[in-house]
Chain A
Amino acid sequence: MADAVRIQTEDFSQDEEIAALKLSSKRMGGVGTFLGCARDFSEGREVTEIRFDIYGSMALSEMQKLRSEAIEKFSLLDARIVHRIGTVRGGDNIVFIAAGAEHRAAALEACRWIIDELKQRVPIWKKEITPQGDAWLASHP
């Protein structure tokens, strides 16, 4: 089975991630998910593609800490985080988070918490490639 926390260039399967999550416990009554996608339009400009830069070892370590902290904070049964790097285009998947808990509230709240913390703590940067030029993206709320 693939690791619960991964950084990879290739696309991921949401079904496979959820299936792997559910394998960890049959007490799981709720699975919350978040899928982050690439947009083809940003701040009034068409976006041709998005390229990533990453501090790989630190990013993976921070994502692993995020998973552990979320499991403890929300009493999750399991959680998975997958982030893509390389080059993506409009509509492509970027990040997938799945949180499994006994009940829905914890699963949904954990998902929201993980993506918010990921944006604050994980050293990954996006560069938008547009017909007007390239620009590093400022973080979005």
Chain B
Amino acid sequence: MIKVLFFGPVAERIGKNILQTEHQSDMQLQDLRANLAQAYPAAFDIVCFAAVNGEHVRDMSLPLVDGSEVAFMARFSGG
């Protein structure tokens, strides 16, 4: 399973903070993003960053291993 986390404005548009999705062989971060963007287009309009296991990821071709924790995030506004 892949655990997907959402926060702040993205979570609000999706209507939940977390979802679980089946891991598939040869799955890349961009595949997960594409699937979720199709299901939640309004939320993914504002997604700017992705993280895997708590680390920023810019390479969307990153392979996802089973058990990964992924976050798709809007622009930050802390500070």
- In the bound complex, what is the Cα–Cα distance between A136 and B77 (angstroms)? 9
- Quick check: is A4 within 8 A (CB to CB) of the other chain? no
Nearest Cβ on chain A to B64's Cβ, whole angstroms: 17
Are B78 and A55 in contact (CB-based, < 8 A)? no
A120 at the interface (CB under 8 A from B): yes
Alpha-carbon gap, A126 to B76, bound state (A): 8
A136 with B76: CB separation less than 8 A: no
CB distance from B8 to the nearest CB of A (A): 3
Q: Is A95 located at the chain interface by the 8 A CB criterion? A: yes
Contacts of A124 in B (CB 8 A): 76-79
Question: Which of chain A's residues have a CB closer than 8 A to the CB of B71?
Answer: 55, 58, 123
Q: Which of the four size classes fits the interface of chain B?
A: 10 to 19
Interface centre among B9, B54, B73, B78 (most CB of A within 10 A): B78
Task: Fill in one digit per residue for B25-69: 1 if any A CB lies within 8 Å of its CB, else 0.
Answer: 000000000000000000000000101001110000000000000
Main secondary structure of the interface of B (DSSP, over half): mixed
Does B76 lie within 8 Å of A53, measured CB to CB?
no
Would you give the 0/1 interface string for A111-141, flagging 1 where the beta carbon is closer than 8 Å to chain B? 0000100111111111100000000111110
Contact code string B1-36 (vs A, CB < 8 Å = 1, else 0)? 000010111011000000000000000000000000
- How would you classify the secondary structure of chain A's contact residues: helix, strand, loop or mixed? mixed
Q: Which residue of B lies closest to A84 (CB)?
A: B78
> Smallest Cβ distance from B72 to chain A, in angstroms?
11
Distance between Cα atoms of A138 and B73 in the complex (Å): 13
What residues on B are CB-neighbors of A126 within 8 Å? Answer: 77-78
Distance to closest chain B CB from A25 (angstroms): 26
Contact of A125 among B5, B8, B51, B54 (CB under 8 A): B8
How far apart are the CA atoms of A125 and B79 in the complex, in Å? 9
The interface of chain B, by Cβ under 8 A from chain A, is 5, 7-9, 11-12, 49, 51, 54-56, 71, 73-79
